[in-house]
Chain A
Amino acid sequence: MKDSPGLHLKTYIFLLFIVLFAPLGNVLLGKGMKTIGSARDWEPQELFNILLRILTSGYIWLGIACLLAFFVAYMLVLTWADYSYVQPASAFSYLVVAVLGLWLLGEKVNLLRWTGIAVICLGVFIVGHTHPRTTEKT
């Protein structure tokens, strides 16, 4: 198993892409879905109309573009790092999503939620001090 500074640097750069693009994508999707609204009766005609509004929403497509960028970065990092490392390490996106939700959507984020996010970041810190790859290359 190769343990080089390059491997860690490469991993951190791709994790940065992941924690930026995923929350931005989710915030844009949230903005789009709040504009569209939720189904009331869950009848086929109503669901079809909602699907049409989803497919014609600029916010939704921008969100999808951000999530695609996230997905590409995610796929690439998984070629050398463990899934069980990448998934918890990407939890910093909670901090970013709360900040973006507060800043762009005007959502109320209370003290308990900020505390929860801080605890999540602590978990990320613990996970970040484990080696990115614990299995041999195939």
Chain B
Amino acid sequence: MLESIFLFLIVAAGTGGELCVSHAMKTLGEVHDFRPSALLQFVWRAARVGWMWIGIGFMTLAFFSLLAMLSMENVSFVVPVTALSYAAGAIGATLFLREKVSTQRWLGVLVVCIGVTLVWLSRH
């Protein structure tokens, strides 16, 4: 039961956090300059975007849920099952980020999810 709760928190909070961070990154624009000073400036700009902090809050919750689950199960099981977020991510990207997810990309996400299911079944 506890593992299911932690898995839900990892998937829901993790995906929600990533969507918020992705939204923040899109508002900043593409990075062309990879010098350390330019990257620091970029991080500073990112830190001033509200969506970034909301995303970090969600991802922190997901992180501690991951730690709790890692204390109970093997990493080679925990990490694959958290890939339930792939379906949630594709749906969220379509609904909230207005990304055009192609049929081929949906197919890829579906195949990834089948693989994750096999990993889940490998536990028993």
With a cutoff of 8 Å between Cβ atoms, the chain A residues found around residue B42 in the complex are: 76
Across-interface contacts of A123 in B (CB, < 8 A): 108-115
Contact status B29-A93, CB under 8 Å: no
Contact (Cβ within 8 A) B115 A79: no
**B31 in contact with A80 (CB, 8 Å):** yes
| A118, A127, A128: the one within 8 Å of B109 (CB) | A127
CB distance from B42 to the nearest CB of A (A): 8
The interface centre, meaning the residue of A38, A79, A122 with most chain B CB atoms within 10 A of its CB, is A79
A6 vs B87: C-alpha distance when bound (angstroms): 29
- Knowing A38-B68, A105-B75, the reply to whether A113 touches B86 (Cβ < 8 A) is no
Known A-B contacts A78-B25, A80-B30, A83-B19; the reply to A105 vs B74 at CB < 8 A is yes
Interface presence of A54 (CB below 8 A): yes
Report chain B residues within 8 Å CB of A16.
none
Residue pair A83, B111 in contact (C-beta under 8 Å): no
With known contacts A112-B121, A117-B115, A126-B104, A107–B99 Cβ distance under 8 A: no
Contact in complex: A84, B46 (CB < 8 Å): no
Residues of A within 8 A of B112 (CB): 88, 91, 119-120, 123-124, 127
Query: Complex Cα distance A113/B122, Å?
Result: 5
Report the separation of the CA atoms of residues A120 and B114 in the bound assembly, to the nearest whole angstrom.
7
Contact residues in B for A137 (Cβ distance below 8 Å): 29-30
Tell me, rounded to whole Å, the shortest Cβ–Cβ distance linking B96 to chain A. Answer: 9
**What string of 1s and 0s marks CB contacts (under 8 Å) between A69-96 and chain B?**
0001001101110111101100101100
Instruction: Give complex CA distance A84, B121 in Å.
Output: 26
Kindly identify which residue among A82, A100, A113 contacts B93, using a CB–CB cutoff of 8 Å: A82
- Which residues 2-47 of A sit at the B interface, judged by CB distance below 8 A? 23, 26-27, 29-30, 33-34, 36-39
Could you tell me if B99 and A34 are in contact, using CB atoms closer than 8 angstroms?
Answer: no
Distance (Å) between the CB of B82 and the closest chain A CB?
Answer: 9
Name B's A-contacting residues (CB within 8 A). Answer: 18-19, 21-22, 25-31, 39, 42-43, 46, 66-68, 70-72, 74-80, 83, 85-86, 89-90, 93-94, 97-102, 104-105, 107-122
Closest 3 CB pairs of A and B: A116-B118, A119-B115, A123-B112
- Besides A34-B70, A124-B108, 11 new A-B residue pairs in contact (Cβ under 8 A), listed by A number: A26-B75, A26-B78, A27-B75, A29-B66, A84-B109, A85-B105, A107-B75, A120-B119, A134-B99, A134-B100, A137-B29
